[in-house]
Amino acid sequence: MEIKAIRGFNDILPDEVGKWQFVEEVAREVFEGFGFSEIRIPILERTELFSRGIGEATDIVEKEMYTFTDKSGNSLTLRPEATASMARAYLEHQIYSFDPVAKLYCIGPMFRYERPQKGRYRQFYQIDAEVFGVGNPMVDAEVILMLIHFLKRVGLEKLELQINSLGCRDCRPLYRGELKKFLTEKSFQLCEDCQRRLHTNPLRIFDCKVETCKEAIADAPQVINFICNECQGHFNQVKGYLEAAGLGYVLNPRMVRGLDYYTRTAFEVVSYQLGSQNAVTGGGRYDNLFQEIGGLDIPGIGFAIGMERLVSLLPKDKAFVRYPHLFIAAMGEETIKEAYRIINQLHLQGIRVELDYEGKSLKSQMRRADKLKAQYVLILGREELKRGKAILRNMESKLQEEIPISDILNVVREKVKGVEQGNRDC
């Protein structure tokens, strides 16, 4: 029987991968421009990191983690998100001793045992950016600004920035109590999961998709009306900085985010092109996370962008695939050898070159060049070779010119530069 991939685990095929590379390149460029450095963290961590960091009573920890016991009896988990691991690395390697402020980003796969559907997978990729060590609201605005800047550079439109404040350790329990009181009276309307959430983590009920739960929570008290003066002051400053940067936002008092560690600023960027899974990215401040995993009082803020959802929003007409710059059509043993010599020189110059491996006719080599979408074809025939010449054909305009073999490197380099420049400009 043919072996297939596991449900919810996707292959990203070569004709798709150009988009992924493009997104990753833009992320690296934009984030590094804002002073962020890449960090690479393991895919597997001790289960405790997530149960303590994300919170026992979250959907992720309760039912979505890929957890198993290894041969030494340790409980390990495939990372469901990157923030807790990045925070662990910051503590473990005492990155704070060099500079308490660390701006880090990470790109890679995450794993959650969710019910697969369009836009929701069991292995999915995230781009994460985090700032550790600063509680100043200016950083909240800066992180949001960087995110929007990145999304615009990638080419996304029809985006909406939604923000909320979730309060802190001091004021959130008050809100939690009020919410619980309100929902207890409506508990008969709640689904089985939410009946349980009512006692463990009532804020999660905002995320429930069951119709009766949505109705029950529609008029619930809102966290923003319960936050303390410090949190209100922080939120006002975040809004002030966003306005100073000219960034539009929408207040969404119902946004509570799925993870327990968020405090104060929470934000999401939603797209109206995606149907029900419309959150491209979300993030927020988490000033308690470090205490949960390492006992230190270090503030943090960051976001995670879902790559699959982002890639699905990219403009369809943009060419992300890197086609060959040049196809060399050569016939006969002698010319093929000459072609091979030229190809090696071109490769060293970073020019993408293809050729035929099967000694086919010129006609079928031209067909292959067309199929591969090569921009130019260099035709090397026995006759031309004798005269030290080759024919260069522009596959788009169909114009041909004869060029000396000794000039190939220069001519092709110049033409390719022109094409690359054109691609960047469009």
Amino acid at 308: E
- C-beta closer to ligand AMP: residue 202 or 306: 306
- C-beta closer to ligand AMP: residue 41 or 411: 41
Q: In what order do the strands lie in the sheet with 44-46?
A: 44-46, 75-78, 66-69
- Minimum distance, C-beta of residue 423 to ligand AMP, in the bound complex (Å): 28
- C-beta closer to ligand AMP: residue 90 or 121: 121
Residues in the chain, total: 426
Torsion of CA 168, 173, 176, 178, to 10 degrees: -120
- C-beta closer to ligand AMP: residue 167 or 258: 258
- Minimum distance, C-beta of residue 83 to ligand AMP, in the bound complex (Å): 8
> Which helix (H) or strand (E) covers residue 282, if one does?
strand 279-285
Reference 196, options 386, 45, 20, 62; nearest CA is 62
Structure tokens at 291: 């205490």
- Minimum distance, C-beta of residue 138 to ligand AMP, in the bound complex (Å): 23
Residues making contact with ligand AMP (CB under 6 A): 81, 112, 114, 120-121, 124, 126, 258, 279-282, 304, 306, 308-309
- Minimum distance, C-beta of residue 303 to ligand AMP, in the bound complex (Å): 8
- Minimum distance, C-beta of residue 56 to ligand AMP, in the bound complex (Å): 17
Q: In what order do the strands lie in the sheet with 353-355?
A: 353-355, 326-330, 376-380, 389-394, 400-404
Task: Decide: 99 and 59 in contact? Cβ < 8 Å.
Answer: no
- Residue recorded with tokens 């950083």: 139
How is 255-320 classified by DSSP, letter by letter?
A: ---SSTT-EEEEEEEEETTSTT--EEEEEEE-SSHHHHHHS----EEEEEEEHHHHHHTS-TTS--
CA geometry: angle at 332 spanning 326 and 334, to 5°?
90
Question: Rounded CA gap, 363 and 230, in Å?
Answer: 75
Reference 326, options 291, 377, 275; nearest CA is 377
Question: Rounded CA gap, 227 and 172, in Å?
Answer: 7
Question: Rounded CA gap, 417 and 407, in Å?
Answer: 16
- C-beta closer to ligand AMP: residue 59 or 354: 59
Q: Taking CB positions, which residue lies at the least distance from ligand AMP?
A: 306
Question: Rounded CA gap, 238 and 168, in Å?
Answer: 15
Task: Decide: 298 and 86 in contact? Cβ < 8 Å.
Answer: no
Q: How far is CA 399 from the centre of its chain?
A: 41
- C-beta closer to ligand AMP: residue 268 or 354: 268
- Minimum distance, C-beta of residue 177 to ligand AMP, in the bound complex (Å): 25
- Minimum distance, C-beta of residue 243 to ligand AMP, in the bound complex (Å): 25
- C-beta closer to ligand AMP: residue 126 or 335: 126
- Minimum distance, C-beta of residue 264 to ligand AMP, in the bound complex (Å): 16
- Minimum distance, C-beta of residue 13 to ligand AMP, in the bound complex (Å): 18
- C-beta closer to ligand AMP: residue 31 or 124: 124
How is 134-173 classified by DSSP, letter by letter?
A: ---HHHHHHHHHHHHHHHHHHT--SEEEEEEE---TTTHH
- Minimum distance, C-beta of residue 342 to ligand AMP, in the bound complex (Å): 45
CB neighbour class for 149 (10 Å; exposed up to 12, middle 13-18, buried from 19): middle
- C-beta closer to ligand AMP: residue 58 or 375: 58
- Minimum distance, C-beta of residue 128 to ligand AMP, in the bound complex (Å): 8
- C-beta closer to ligand AMP: residue 114 or 384: 114
- C-beta closer to ligand AMP: residue 282 or 299: 282
Report CA Rg, the chain. Answer: 27
